[in-house]
Amino acid sequence: MTGAKNTNNDIFLDESNLNTLKNLGQSGKNIKVGIIDGLIEKNHPLLNHMNIYYSYVSEEKQTTHGTAVCSIVGGKSVGIAENIEVYNIPVFHEDSQGKLQGCSELTLAKAINEARLQGCHIINISGSSLSVNGRGSDDLRKAVNRCQQAGILIISAVGNEGVNQESLPASLDSVLAVGACDKDGYPAKFNNFGHKLRKKMLLAPGISIPVAITDSNISLVSGSSFAAPIITGFSALIMRALSLHGNIQAAEVVSKLLFETATKLQSPALDRQIFTLHRLNISSLLQRVQQELILYPQNRNAIMSTEDSIIIPSSTDLYPAPESIITPATEENESYIFNESNLSTQPQSSSLTLPKINDSAANNYVHSPINRVKPQADFDARHVRSQEKVFLIGTIGYDFGTEARLDYFTQVMGNGQGHPFDPQQMAKHLVAGDNIEQSDALIWVLKVDGIPVYAIKPDSQFAVLEYARIVNFLNDQEEEGVERVSVSGIITGETRLFNGQVIPTVSPVLRGMFNWKSRDLAELVMGKDTLATSKTDELMNFINRIYYELRNRGYDSHERAINYAATNAYQMREVFDDAYKESLFLNTISAAVSPVSRPDSDCWDVVLEFFNPKERLTTARKLYRYTIDVSDIMPVTIGTLRSWYVY
């Protein structure tokens, strides 16, 4: 193995190439960057020229980490794109000792969704968590996928543990993973390098980076946390230079350009196979941007004074199929082989550590403070609209949270005789005597397919009644064979379960808590005289399809509309009475935004399509539509049932 030659010019921020790229990209003008980090000190001398907006007014102190990251992206003198607009979503916090604390994946997913809804073109996440498989939680994957569909580029640090393991969110497919390298271009030894990360890691300077820190100071810092914002800054320049902001292909085009112009590095992995890393190459990146501006003059956003130095482009195009790759003709794009003796070791700054984003594994804790809201019963209907509402269909369960709480129930259920993990025994214990008062010592959970989705935490003036109803739900489920539970409420925070999994906490509303058996609900809707008939069986099929085929978390508006449709007995009777007369069977269920809505409402049209299985080619399908307003905690049907035939 031979060490790479010094390729300092291709990675470090030489004034000539950087200034030219800044001019082409107008220093990121009109590009909005979401910085999901700690609270930024916006009045710092290096940051007071920027438009920095916060997601909420916070009384927490500004963090050194967030301020440093922001200064790399767009700070005076030390930043890449000084004209960007920053939307700061503080999810990392400093404790009383000044130590930076991370957040849960759920909190991160909410922050990503907020950045997307606020119109950010690029999202920087200088935080990570080790992961076994790099998949992350459902909420996190969903938030990232929505950004991908909207053309929003997410850039994340790979983490500083220096292990052959995945990290989140960097390992997720559409996230641009960034590792650190030193001023000689060698990868930092502290970078995480799991199998997924090796395939998608882009290296950028991350050793001894000058940054702004709190109290108007400046410092040198190291870590992948500070390599990520360098790529964020360059992405803003590219996006502006090529007028990509707002384009649904923007993230894909920028990522492709960064990797195609990067210098390739090769190193033996732990399995003795060669793997390739990519390192930011500013000179090649500049040439490529200039080429693109000639190929696509409509993307030119400024009169350039550097046209004499523009390289004549090839006929290859940035936008077509992935196989068409332009390789700038510079020697820095050769593949270099390095060995471990060249690698930079640990980050040099002990004052700035990478925030942790906790995945749902044992021994992980939720460090970020819970943003509690008042119990929903204290709100009038006008205030509820802005809250995070859920309407979920599932099954009831419970959790202990800690060893101490498990030991408590082991004792009160009769040491050695009671088994707290047995839901049947727990149900019998809680309904016996005055034991129901122990119900608030459990973490009650709502499950879908046996997986905890929400923790139920009554906190309104009806909390006693809500706990009693939950205990009855468990008893009915274990003793009477009740199959389903529906709960509506408002998300009020997060709860860590006994196994370390973090799930949202829901404050339920008593009028939205029900349980049932499918057959009993069918009897209620269709009448006792139809019991054990094909009419009842068809309605049971509808209820089961809602639960199994369309199972969801009951969080998004269309999910709450569909779930409510499955529990609205009056509307179901109207539909199935009519459909049964014509020997029609359910085909599909869907929900779409209603074209006509009341002011301040969130109306969705639930459409049920029926067909005649015996005459599929000769008989028209029949559609039934009714509108559900999900703007309140408890959804409500508005208007009348409509039906029509389609061919």
Q: What is the pLDDT of residue 185?
A: 86
What is the mean predicted confidence (pLDDT) over 37-49?
92
What is the mean predicted confidence (pLDDT) over 187-195?
90
What is the mean predicted confidence (pLDDT) over 579-602?
86
Are residues 281 and 374 located together in one domain of the fold? no
Confidence of residue 359 (pLDDT cuts 50, 70, 90): very low
Are residues 49 and 181 located together in one domain of the fold? yes
> What residues form DSSP beta bridges with 628?
604, 637
What is the mean predicted confidence (pLDDT) over 64-78?
93
Are residues 335 and 480 located together in one domain of the fold? no
Confidence of residue 531 (pLDDT cuts 50, 70, 90): low
Whether 597 is in a domain gets the answer: no
Tally of CA atoms within 13 A in the half-sphere of 187 that contains its CB: 31
What's the CA gap between 231 and 281, in Å, rounded? 11
pLDDT tens digits for 94-104? 877 778 888 88
Q: Provide, rounded to the nearest whole percent, the portion of the chain with pLDDT above 70.
A: 81
What is the mean predicted confidence (pLDDT) over 621-625?
93
What is the mean predicted confidence (pLDDT) over 370-394?
64
Strand-pair category, 201-205 with 176-181? parallel
Whether 230 is in a domain gets the answer: yes
What is the mean predicted confidence (pLDDT) over 580-589?
85
Q: What is the pLDDT of residue 82?
A: 95
For 342, the 3-state DSSP assignment is helix
Are residues 250 and 290 located together in one domain of the fold? yes
Q: Is the pLDDT of residue 454 over 90?
A: yes
Q: What is the pLDDT of residue 395?
A: 94
Are residues 325 and 378 located together in one domain of the fold? no
CATH number of the domain to which 85 belongs: 3.40.50.200
What is the mean predicted confidence (pLDDT) over 340-344?
50
**Which residues, in sequence order, are CB contacts of 591 under 8 Å at separation 6+?**
558, 561, 562, 565, 604, 605, 606, 607
Whether 313 is in a domain gets the answer: yes
Residues annotated catalytic, as ranges: 37, 65, 225
Q: What is the pLDDT of residue 580?
A: 80
What's the CA gap between 302 and 237, in Å, rounded? 13
**Where is pLDDT greater, at 367 or 276?**
276
What's the CA gap between 52 and 575, in Å, rounded? 53
Are residues 141 and 231 located together in one domain of the fold? yes
Whether 614 is in a domain gets the answer: no
Kindly write down the DSSP assignment for every residue of 347-392, as one continuous string: -S-SS--PPBEE-SSTT----SPP-----GGGS-HHHHTTS-EEEE
**Residue 98 contacts residue 128 (beta carbons within 8 Å):** no
Are residues 327 and 212 located together in one domain of the fold? yes
Q: What is the pLDDT of residue 402?
A: 93
Is the omega angle on the peptide bond into residue 229 within 30 degrees of 0, that is, cis? no
Of 416-425, 431-440, 473-482, 539-548, where does mean pLDDT reach its minimum? 539-548
**Residue 391 contacts residue 512 (beta carbons within 8 Å):** yes
Confidence of residue 393 (pLDDT cuts 50, 70, 90): very high
Domain limit, last residue, from 500, 516, 532: 516
Identity of residue 112: I
Domain limit, last residue, from 496, 516, 536: 516
The token duo for 405 is 């709480």
Chain CA centroid to CA 493, Å:
16
Are residues 270 and 380 located together in one domain of the fold? no
Most confident of 6-15, 52-61, 312-321: 52-61
Q: What is the pLDDT of residue 214?
A: 83
Of 218-227, 451-460, 521-530, where does mean pLDDT reach its minimum? 521-530
**Where is pLDDT greater, at 277 or 80?**
80
Are residues 298 and 423 located together in one domain of the fold? no
Q: What is the pLDDT of residue 14?
A: 67
What is the mean predicted confidence (pLDDT) over 29-34?
96
pLDDT tens digits for 257-311? 999 999 998 765 555 556 788 999 999 999 999 998 887 665 554 434 333 333 3
Are residues 316 and 391 located together in one domain of the fold? no
Whether 544 is in a domain gets the answer: no
Whether 562 is in a domain gets the answer: no
**Where is pLDDT greater, at 310 or 212?**
212
Whether 101 is in a domain gets the answer: yes
Residue 210 parent element (H or E): strand 209-213
Confidence of residue 435 (pLDDT cuts 50, 70, 90): very high
Are residues 390 and 332 located together in one domain of the fold? no
| Backbone φ, ψ for residue 409 (5° rounding) | -70, -30
What is the mean predicted confidence (pLDDT) over 508-526?
83
pLDDT tens digits for 315-334? 333 332 232 222 222 333 33
Q: Considering the chain, what is the average pLDDT of its residues?
A: 82
Q: What is the pLDDT of residue 268?
A: 57
**Where is pLDDT greater, at 553 or 525?**
553
Residue 629 DSSP one-character state: E
What is the mean predicted confidence (pLDDT) over 24-52?
93
Q: Is the pLDDT of residue 246 over 90?
A: no
**Which residues, in sequence order, are CB contacts of 465 under 8 Å at separation 6+?**
510
Confidence of residue 412 (pLDDT cuts 50, 70, 90): very high
The model's pTM = 0.75
Question: Residue 165's domain spans which residues?
Answer: 8-343
Q: Is the pLDDT of residue 374 over 60?
A: no
Domain count for the chain, please give it. Answer: 2
Domain limit, last residue, from 343, 378, 407: 343
Are residues 297 and 403 located together in one domain of the fold? no
Q: Is the pLDDT of residue 590 over 80?
A: yes
Residue 293: other Cβ atoms inside 10 A: 22
Residue 538 to residues 238, 514, 520, 572, 582, Cα–Cα distance (Å): 57, 22, 14, 11, 13
Whether 2 is in a domain gets the answer: no
